[in-house]
Structures are given as structure tokens and as C-alpha cells.
Amino acid sequence: MSKPSQDCSNACLKGAGRPKAAEVEARMHDLIETAGALFLSQGYTKVSLEAIAREAHVAVRTIYVKFGGKAGLLNAVIQSRRDRFFNVRDMATDSRPFKEIVDDFGRHFLALLWAPEALCMQRVIIAEAATNPELAETFENAGPKPTREMLSRFFARPDIRAQLRPDLPFDALPTFLLNCVAGDLLMRFLSPQPKQSPEEMQRALDERLSLFYRAVLKES
């Protein structure tokens, strides 16, 4: 007579087992989104891990296990925003013509720079970086550094290098391109939204990229 009870017990144990991978992924996504919202609304320094854990309905230990702490969680937040707004092809293997690759990169990168969440996050970083070196380092490693490294690999391709002027300071090319794409950085931080229409922004980007091409490409 004990068999049915035992079967029921086994079934209950199976049902109460470890959460499925999809559930864990969803919880981590919610945690990252919650942390991002709190960082943007309250600032990185003022938000505690306890507050994030409470809002996300997770244990503080979970944050340490999954992300290593607050800096690791910020890194995950920045990467999630970058992936959301900056979905470009692998420039190291992209076989399209040079200008087509760079034009595509420029459009995506400018959209990332003007994304409201990205602007808010950059303002938080600028406001607190001077007093929080960990914050500045985390932002650099999660955002600007991977972008520059991707561009460095692109400009180092033999087929790409063959199209560029041989006297260029190649180490400076990634930053030069990023500045050409970004345009007036001061106005971007002073303005809550672009003062140009999307069409005007695209024309201005095309003009800046035209200057970039004239500066780096060999004369045909």
C-alpha cells in the first residue's frame, strides 16, 4: 500500500527539482533589466546590491555567484544594451566593400550613441567616474574597448590594409573613425534628444564619413 505514496513522493521531488535553463535565463534577464533601471534612475554608487536583489526578487548571493558582484552586474547591463542597439556583422570576416562595411558600422554605432538608455548610462558614468574608478574601468571594458578592438582587427585585415594609405598611424584609426561617426559629442550630452531629423542625421554622418574616407583611403 505504500507504493502509490512513494510514486507521488518521487513525482513531487521531480517537480521541485532545479529550474529549467530557460527559467534561469529569464531570471537573469530580469535581474539585469532591474539593475539597469536602478542604475539609470539612482546612479551606480547609490544603488546597493541589497536593493537590486530585493527589487529583482533574488538573493544577494545569486548576484555574486552569477556576476561576481556589482561591477560584474554593471558589465552585464552595459553588454545587454550594447547587444540590443549595436548588432553589426563580424567586421573581421565581412566580405563586403570597405565603404559598405564602414557605412553600416557608422549607422549602427550612431544609433547606439543616441539611444535614450545609452545616453542616460553615459551621463551616469561621466558624473560618477571621477570618484569611482571601478565604474570607469567597468564601462571601458564593457563598451568602448571591445568596439575599438573590433575596429583594430578590421583595419589589420590584409585586404583592408591594402586599400589604406601606407603612412597612416594605424593604431589611431579606431578612435579616429569613432570620432567621425559620433560628431559633436558635447551637443549629444547637452541635448535630451537629437535636434536633427533622422534624415538630417544620416546626411551629416555621410559627410563625416566622406571626410574619413578621403583621409585614409589611397587615391584611386
Q: What single-letter DSSP state applies at residue 25?
A: H
Percent of the chain with pLDDT over 70: 87
Report pLDDT for 14.
46
Range of the domain at 26: 2-216
Report pLDDT for 6.
52
Q: pLDDT for 128-145, tens place per residue?
A: 988 888 888 988 888 889
Report pLDDT for 1.
46
Asked if residues 40 and 117 have their Cβ atoms less than 8 Å apart, the reply is yes
Our count of domains for the chain comes to: 1
Report pLDDT for 192.
62
Task: Give the list of residues 6+ apart from residue 146 with CB closer than 8 angstroms, or none.
Answer: 82
Asked if residues 1 and 26 have their Cβ atoms less than 8 Å apart, the reply is no
Dihedral over Cα of 77, 85, 118, 184: its sign = positive
Report pLDDT for 88.
75
CATH value at residue 112: 1.10.357.10
Q: pLDDT for 61-120, tens place per residue?
A: 999 999 999 999 999 998 888 777 677 788 999 999 999 999 999 999 998 888 888 888
Distance CA 142, CA 29 (A): 17
Report pLDDT for 9.
47
Q: What single-letter DSSP state applies at residue 173?
A: H
Q: Tell me the average pLDDT across 172-186.
A: 91
Q: pLDDT for 16-62, tens place per residue?
A: 555 677 888 888 999 999 999 999 999 899 999 999 999 999 999 99
Q: What is the pTM (predicted TM-score) of this model?
A: 0.77
What are the two backbone dihedrals, phi and then psi, of residue 36, each rounded to the nearest 5 degrees?
-60, -45
